[in-house]
Amino acid sequence: MPKLKMGEDHAACNAVTGVDMKVLVLTGMPGSGKSEAVKVAEEMGIPIQRMGDMVREMVRAKGFELNRANLASVANSERKRLGPDIWAKRTVRVISRSPIVVIDGARSLAEVDYFRKELGTSLLVLAVHSSPWTRWQRISKRHREDDPRTFGELRERDGQELRWGLGDIIATADMMLLNEGSKGHLRGQMRHLLLDLSGRPPATGPPAETTFTEVVER
């Protein structure tokens, strides 16, 4: 994996960490309820940094149609060209300054490690988990165009999502919301967590310099 130069990015990020923000990296498998959890944060006035928005912008700028295949292809070719944490690097450059910020769309520990290194130890990873069968029941009801149409297709989609290391982020999450019940229950849990977080002192745990990057490289 190419080591990325830091230079001016690093300076910009120090300015960011100077604000003493809490950064919540929100993650989950398709249909887990992650988007609903992001919505709760948004409704509470917390800025959301959507990594996917940058990819969408680039797909549009290249004149490609906005669909899953093109989004994945552009995201991946940028990772291959500029390193597995390129989208994290670009996210840090534009991140909002606010007491709490939510980052949506991290796909690998390389990205989380970059956030941790640049945004300090107040970074927390929150995973929303539902069983594959629960996720399938939700997805089969929502009728989105790009969604899997069978349980087997959901397993394949899962595989695509896991390929970059999403499972590694979920397995090492700092917090986990289980979402097997109603939307209301998840919303309640999420609101509770964000209220708790906004009153919480900065985390004392993970040393910022520790990274997974070398050991999980595939």
Report the Cα 33 to chain-centroid distance in Å.
13
By CB under 8 A, is residue 171 in contact with a second copy?
A: yes
Q: How many amino acids of this chain bind a second copy (CB under 8 A)?
A: 42
**Measured from the CB of residue 63, what is the shortest distance to a second copy in angstroms?**
29
Strands (E), the chain: 22-28, 48-50, 100-104, 123-129, 175-178
Does residue 159 touch a second copy according to CB under 8 A?
yes
Determine if 185 is a binding residue for a second copy (CB under 8 A): no
Specify the stretch interacting with a second copy by CB under 8 A; choose among 17-25, 46-54, 186-194, 210-218: 210-218
Measured from the Cβ of residue 48, the count of other Cβ atoms closer than 10 Å reads 17
**Shortest gap between Cβ of 39 and a second copy (angstroms)?**
22
Judged by CB under 8 A, does residue 29 bind a second copy?
yes
Identity of the residue numbered 191? R
**Angle CA 183–185–191, to nearest 5:** 100
> Cα dihedral angle (23, 10, 84, 211), rounded to 10 degrees?
-70
Max CA pair span of the chain:
48
Minimum distance from residue 69 beta carbon to a second copy (Å) = 14
Residue 207 tokens, joined: 């040393």
Interaction site with a second copy (CB under 8 A):
29, 109, 127, 129, 131-133, 136, 151-152, 155-156, 158-160, 162-163, 165-176, 178, 203, 205-207, 209-212, 214-216, 218
